[in-house]
Amino acid sequence: MIEISKSTKIYAFCPAAFASGGPELLHQLVYKLKQKGYDANMYYWFSKYQNVNIDPVHENYKHYNLSHVTELKDKKDQVIIFPEIETGKIYKFPKSTKAIWWLSVDFFFISWDTKTKFKDKLKKKLGIIKRYKFEKMPRLYHLAQSYYALDFLSKKGIDNNVGYLSDYLNKTFLENIPKELSVSNRKDQVLYNPKKGLEKVNLLKENAPEINWIPIENMSFEEILRLQQNSKVYIDFGFHPGKDRIPREAAINGCCVITGKEGAAKFYEDIPIKDEYKIGFNEENVTEIIEKIKDCFENYETNTKDFVAYKQMILDEESKFEEDIDCIFVKN
């Protein structure tokens, strides 16, 4: 799809000195491209509020040992990969080949809507701050992290120059999962991410105070791992902007996963679990959700077998990621 010559340089645009799900994926991509022999680098960008003299490489990503730049001129024979929250930057590089990696759908809109300061509003109105308007552009490609993103792009009329490129769970995380997960030591408790769908979780808690509800927050890596490996259920009724990490981590650690049907959750390809574990959230369905949770408590050993396909998909993601890279980046 994207032709790469021996002299082509590839850059992944990433906020400097910042760690979250998106930057992790961008570092994963550059790391894999370098392993395959490409001249791939990080392109770190400092916001106007940052000290440009600090180390742009966040501590979480130093182990990748990637080369980087903090400035980049527009020229041919280079490919720049932009996350969906930074699509306005593509207009500064008319000569370069560009790819927008849709790591999420929802944050494309959220990142724009949160620019609410007077100066930002004025710059948006004057076109100084831009975002992609789904117009056809030469040398522009689209990469989708989820089938939700593929569907979104198709509905926007973007069907050409589109490739599927998802992600994979951190190897360090997978290496800490025992081959035989405990069944007998599991507790009747529900884990959830308090940053997503909290008002819905609160409604569930009000209707089932007898259940032990545990938010995943302010915990170390080891604490989260231990908690997931000792719990029976993880729920997520928030919006799913892409193939989210925490549901996958919970599933691979043996939790029964119950979700709503928002965003990527409604696509089987993104969360391949049975429909009985995907329940559209509304007040009428609260009882159904609680009953499903209790069913997983009572029949955990049986129900956990329903997640074998999901777990296998998660284990295969890294090799699939490498295959997708080979389909997208073509040496000429």
Locate the domains of the chain by residue range.
Answer: 2-167, 171-316
The correct answer on CATH 2.70.98 for the domain covering 2-167 is no
The pLDDT value given to residue 176 = 86
> Which range, 44-58, 120-134, 277-291, has the best average confidence (pLDDT)?
277-291
Answer yes or no: are the C-beta atoms of 240 and 265 closer than 8 Å: yes
DSSP notation for 9-20: EEEEEEETT--S
- Its CATH architecture, for the domain 171-316, is 3-Layer(aba) Sandwich (3.40)
Copy the structure tokens of residue 327.
């389909």
Residues paired with 97 in a beta bridge: 79
CB 257 within 8 A of CB 272: no
Least confident range from 54-63, 122-131, 221-230, 245-254: namely 122-131
Instruction: Give the global pTM.
Output: 0.94
Confidence of residue 121 (pLDDT cuts 50, 70, 90): low
Q: Residue 112 — very low, low, confident or very high, per pLDDT cuts 50/70/90?
A: confident
- Same topology, domains 2-167 and 171-316? Answer is yes
pLDDT category of residue 126 using cuts at 50, 70 and 90: low
